[in-house]
Chain A
Amino acid sequence: AQKVTQAQTEISVVEKEDVTLDCVYETRDTTYYLFWYKQPPSGELVFLIRRNSFDEQNEISGRYSWNFQKSTSSFNFTITASQVVDSAVYFCALSERGIQGAQKLVFGQGTRLTINP
């Protein structure tokens, strides 16, 4: 069965520090997608990134970067020079084919990140 593990329940750092959120997944599929979502206090999940299982290149977007390592089934997320606005709950997710082709997402438990000024 598909599974996503985010071992860090809560992380608290001081502004401008770098922080890495870990994500480990389990799947038997050869083709799959990995995602990161951000959930600010307002509640809405905001899409951050999607990664295809065949593309192991790391990605950088501004202060955000993602390290995908298939060998260790990990898809870690790093925020460089963190800011207070980065405070949120972050979810890692794995795609799973549902019945009749509708894609499903399996989410990790989430990591609550607090950036202190």
Chain B
Amino acid sequence: ETGVTQTPRHLVMGMTNKKSLKCEQHLGHNAMYWYKQSAKKPLELMFVYNFKEQTENNSVPSRFSPECPNSSHLFLHLHTLQPEDSALYLCASSQGGLAGGHQFFGPGTRLTVL
């Protein structure tokens, strides 16, 4: 399998549920990213990980909890979400550093919070 994969592709959850989104990259990249895309604010950067260390948290509420066990895997743990958290969540990876390398994106997880 190549590129960046995300599972699940679609997720419906209640406000009291706990779920996790998974991202995996097969490109040997060092940096991984979570983005949120909604109608109100397209492509908001949420978190950045570089060599498994979190380097950016863009003022994301604590109900979103990222985890990066290694450079190939990135998780986003969700708990007690709100309906306004419904969005497309995109994962991306890149070589890292300001080498000018572009980010490779996964297909996204479409999340609906009821």
Contacts and interface: CB of A to CB of B under 8 A. Distances in A.
Interface of A: 31, 33, 35, 37, 42-47, 50, 52, 89, 91, 95, 97-105, 107, 109-110
B104 interface: yes
A101 B96 CA distance: 7
Given A50-B101, A50-B102, A101-B50, 9 more contacts: A45-B90, A47-B103, A98-B56, A100-B55, A102-B30, A102-B48, A102-B97, A107-B43, A110-B43
Interface of B: 30-31, 33, 42-43, 45, 48-50, 53, 55-56, 88, 90, 92, 94, 96-108, 110
B105 A45 contact: yes
B53 A100 contact: yes
Contacts of B102: 33, 35, 47, 50
Nearest to B58: A104
Chain B CB count within 10 A is highest, among A37, A98, A109, for A98
A109 B37 CA distance: 10
Contacts of B88: 43
B106 A44 contact: yes
A10 B24 CA distance: 33
Given A42-B107, A45-B105, A91-B43, A102 B56 contact: yes
Nearest to B99: A103
Nearest to A35: B102
B56 A105 contact: no
A53 to B, nearest CB: 9
Contacts of A35: 102
A96 to B, nearest CB: 9
Contacts of A100: 50, 53, 55
B32 to A, nearest CB: 9
A42 B97 CA distance: 29
A76 B31 CA distance: 28
B108 A103 contact: no
A95 B48 CA distance: 14
Contacts of A91: 42-43
B55 A33 contact: no
